[in-house]
Chain A
């Protein structure tokens, strides 16, 4: 039997995907965990940021910094478009509008008419050029055993984790400041905060923007080593992010990061174990049936976490009360 999958699962700790989901889940925590905005459109923010980056860098040949800026600006604009109409409405409206908006983005970029710009269903390849161009790491292979990386992989991983660390510090500082106090107040009762003279609407908007920008940065880490695929940013990505955030702790800074690591390691492990069992005919399911299993697990995990441990691994039970 082949037990390499255990090592591969451990490798998930460093994977760009883990980094990307950690960042995006952190952004989601700013919206949902700290401010109480039911943002079901985080995948939409990722898509918008991703296209902002990929179109400007691949199709327009902008320099790296400008493309990153474009991704951020795209996310900010998307936040305004979503926020202006909905942040005054009840929270379940925000949920439905954000999820709908994310789907609108996905449908739209896939339109054949937009093929020359968005690449249609195939998405956009080759976002890594500008990124790799400034890679200071000498070419070679780094790592041990089957966990080896070439210089470009390593470069993404390093930049990615540094970004995560900076973002975590940023969120931590925000949340311990008077700004954070206001958004935490809003999460619980926005009228109380409004009565004290705070512009609740604007704070919600800021939170949505921060969440969106973190998602945009996340997607860059995700597409640089691979490519931009519109269908990677459907609703289940948002739901994965919710699972990750709640798993680690939605009202904590380190929770989403820890959540992402655990999430991907566990998924990778379960895939590995399942493959092992299937290929050795230890359980009566086919290869085709193996695919959906991970989603079933995620769905069940999400239900169990929100019911039995809403504060997640790192959170404080008393703060884990998510709106009405």
Chain B
């Protein structure tokens, strides 16, 4: 996989040796003591974590580690039991989701939320911030927002072109494929011109050819000064573009560091796949494929884990004793 691999990786991000909760030279987000319980079970329990500014950080961890929940907490979509986090010098604990987004911290969802009853272009336009026509009284006079709408449309078309969705601009988002929806959601998030983009599994379901160009795209974001935090199970992608990797397991941050170092760390591999084996995480591109050709007990273990996970999602009952 060419050009993307030789993109310059950032170095010297942390102060001291890489370790869970290590201080960063220039953090954009600092979270302290963030916990979230569901019934008896602790989904997130992050003592301290800092996200470095201006680089790409990957948040990895096995299914059910609490990554999505952590995203939800940080962006105001869920309320933590304890904790606070400072984004760009502002304490965001208790700030509602829409304000978080306005402050420049924008997220996408693991289960895509493309608005299928709007056209692709309308989805994109919706992302633009500070629109005059979104205010009730201004909305009534087209002249007040026509010009801005045109600018927004131009910007939207540019982005769509980069995500190879421009030919679909006028279609209902409902007609997009799963992968295309992921792309649309990412593009739409970018319409808000965020400072910190948080992508929850952006590559799940996107075809490999497009993945390649998307990786380039994310690297572009970095070059424009944006900070990227993404959750991903595709270890190849993590290794390729991430400057820094944070590993979560059972709600806690268990490791942090530069990609190569972290992914060779036996503790991380254990966290991911359970103890006793010697797979190189860098080859992990899917959740199951890699397990299939490993030894039997591992297959069993992971399948169980996934079963337990799917048993839990969607249920509203108390959950105890999950993976």
Contacts and interface: CB of A to CB of B under 8 A. Distances in A.
B127 A196 contact: yes
A242 B110 CA distance: 36
Interface in B104-127: 106-109, 113-118, 122, 125-127
Contacts of A182: 126, 134
Interface string B117-149: 110001001110101111110011010010001
A139 interface: no
Contact of B134 (A170, A179, A319): A179
Contact of B102 (A197, A318, A321): A197
A195 B133 contact: no
B117 A191 contact: no
A170 B140 CA distance: 7
B75 interface: yes
Interface string B37-66: 000000000000000000000000000000
A91 B6 CA distance: 50
A15 B172 CA distance: 39
Contact of B149 (A178, A192, A198): A178
A192 to B, nearest CB: 4
A181 B145 contact: no
A189 B113 CA distance: 7
Nearest to A177: B139
A321 B172 CA distance: 13
Contact of B140 (A173, A191, A193): A173
Interface string A242-276: 00000000000000000000000000000000000
B227 interface: no
B189 interface: yes
22 contacts: A173-B139, A177-B140, A177-B145, A178-B125, A178-B139, A178-B145, A179-B133, A180-B139, A181-B126, A184-B117, A188-B118, A189-B115, A191-B97, A191-B113, A194-B77, A195-B77, A195-B113, A196-B127, A196-B188, A197-B101, A197-B106, A198-B98
Interface of A: 170, 173-174, 177-182, 184-185, 187-189, 191-200, 206, 318-319, 321
